[in-house]
Amino acid sequence: MGNSILDVGFSGLLTSQNQLLTTSHNISNANTPGFNRQKVILTTNTSQSTGAGFVGRGVAAATVHRIYNQFLVGQSLQIQTQSQALDSNYTEIKQLDNMFAETTSGLSPTLQNFFTAIQDVATNSSVIPSRQSMLSNAEALVSRFHSMDQRITQIKDGVNTQITSAVTEINSLAEQISQINQQIIWAEGAAGGHPANDMLDQRDDLINQLNKIINTDTVRQSDGTVNVYVGSGQALVVGGQTLTLQAMKSPDVPEKLTIGLMNGSSVVQLPEKQISGGTLGGLLAFRNDSLDKAHNALGRIAINLAQTFNAQHQLGMDLNGDMGGAFFNLPTPKVISASINNIASNITSQITDYSALTTSDYQFSFDGTNYTLTRLSDNTSTTPTNVFPITLDGISVSAATMLANERFRIQPTVNGAKDIGVNITDTTKIAAAAPNRTSAALTNTGTGKISAGSVNPLPLDTNLQQPLTITFGTPPSTFDVAGIGTGLPVTGQAYSSGADISFNGFTFQISGSPAAGDVFTITPNNSGVSDNRNILQLGALQSTNTIQNGTATYQSAYGQLVSEIGNKTRELEVTSKAQANLLTQTQNSIQSVSGVNLDEEAANLLRFQQVYQASSKVIELSKTLFDSILRFG
């Protein structure tokens, strides 16, 4: 009887001791990240059958269980990886927003200053200081393009650095998870299958840290290990084994770092669209959705400005009586051969319609039979063909030497802001004047008037400045044109008041009612020092829709870019805060279930202490009864 009571008391003593230890462990880890509250699960020992019925044999600790809600934890991981991605994206795009929206150092004020200087030249076309101011403001505009391009390049380099850091951290966490997987197998095996709660918490905390960097999927195995997958199901941790990620140069754009998965001795690139969530997913989303587009959009403005300004400038005449040259250096498309291509493979690409340029990159590929040009922003492609040129959005490929399955990346505008420059340093080379002048003979008797005329778009006609004489016949319903040039001389041309008349690359109009014998002339503008007709045309470009298929000016295109970046920044700010609040709510829910409540644990200490003391009394009673039996003997 004494021994039976001793066993029962001893079982109570042991279980209450376990409960006190577990409660003390909970209290000690109240502030430990990732710790889940633990609880001793008690079970009644099998009763002993006696003549008087079943008599209890005390209590046993079945196991130590951690209070863990798998649903809430899974929900928290999903919300957390999205929150980290949004926060990372927002942190990066704020840099772009600050640069583009800056009212003093942005592009808008410099662009306005340049065109204001052009208007000054239009007012004082022969004044050298006005011309020098125009060149100085052109240099300032180019410098602003360059500085903004450099800042974007710095941000791109920063993204690459962060990608490298993220990949290093991912690999480190994956290795730690695989190691703790092995430790859990050994520990739970040695403990007869009882859960290694603290190790499970450590592993969950590692997965939580990993999930902050990249979205993960976990699958629990029957041996207690967890397999971890990233991307579209690529294994990162399998039991005690790990695969390694690598920050690698993009095979299409070497300046970009992308993510590869080590597979033996080779590296397999993971499609960026499949890498979502976490800091890494946010970085890739920022680069693909905002950074690259902003870089291309800025370059497009620079290229369009250079091309349209050059085209008009070359239609004018400078102070030396020469036709204008290219005012700006015109950037060209960047063409990149994929790393898989044969070294001898090449293509010839150029811009054929500057107004049609988009902010997308393009891929030119060859399947062994046909060539295809694809706009990568939405994967719109030309019909596969082997007939050149192949054109899309103003981008033309006129020749190619390629092997089957090779590809080239075409970036029409990415270098626009970097490569634009001012070609003119001599103020006399500014082509402010028109090359020709028109006049009516003083002896004319009719009411006919001739317009100032304009030079046709490039290329210039070689006979542009050859003198022309227009003489009206009898009756004055027709006229003759005398001079040197293609199709000249001509006679009997029908007259229509105000209609375009074009010869030698020069277009003009005669209106009114000329009389028979009236004469009009086109002559070189040899004394065009004070002529401002071409500089007025250059100034008018500021308000001309030359971008986005003729729907936007330089200024409005830049304003649209600023607006898009600003709106995206505000959107990310709002959604990032909302996601952070949702994460806090979910983590609070987890804490209410699995966290340590010190008041509750203090109460448990008192309760378990009482059980411990009572069990000690039972053991003491057992000794007393045993001593009594000995005395009776």
CA–CA distance, 429 with 320 (Å, rounded to integer): 7
Domain boundaries, the chain: 2-67+598-632, 336-406, 436-524
Pairing of strands 478-483, 490-494: antiparallel
Alpha carbons 92 and 104: distance in angstroms, whole number:
21
pLDDT at residue 1, rounded to an integer: 43
Are the beta carbons of 536 and 454 closer than 8 angstroms?
A: no
- Concatenating the DSSP letter of every residue in 83-149 gives HHHHHHHHHHHHHHHHHHH-TTTSHHHHHHHHHHHHHHHHHSTT-HHHHHHHHHHHHHHHHHHHHHH
Full-model pTM: 0.89
Residue appearing with tokens 């204001």: 116
pLDDT along the chain (633 residues), means of 10: 71 90 93 92 83 80 92 94 96 95 86 96 91 97 97 97 97 96 93 92 96 95 93 90 94 94 86 92 96 97 98 94 94 94 94 96 95 95 92 94 95 97 95 94 96 92 95 95 94 95 96 96 82 94 96 96 96 96 94 92 92 85 75 67
Look at residue 2 in the predicted model and tell me its pLDDT.
42
pLDDT at 633: 57
Vertex 398 angle, CA 402 and 253, to 5°: 55
Distance, in Å, from the CA atom of 248 to the CA atom of 268, rounded to the nearest integer, reads 10
| Calpha distance 190→194 (Å, rounded) | 9
Determine the Cα–Cα distance for residues 280 and 501; give it in Å rounded to an integer: 63
CB atoms within 10 A of CB 83: 26
DSSP strand E in 250-403: where? 257-263, 266-269, 328-329, 334-337, 346-351, 362-366, 371-375, 380-381, 390-392, 395-401
- How many Å apart are CA 345 and CA 339, to the nearest integer? 11
Q: What is the pLDDT of residue 264?
A: 78
The answer, yes or no, to whether the previous bond of 475 is cis (omega within 30 of 0) is yes
Contacts of 511 (CB under 8 A, 6+ apart): 448, 449, 451, 497, 498
Residue type, 109: P
How far is 120 from 182, CA to CA, in rounded Å?
78
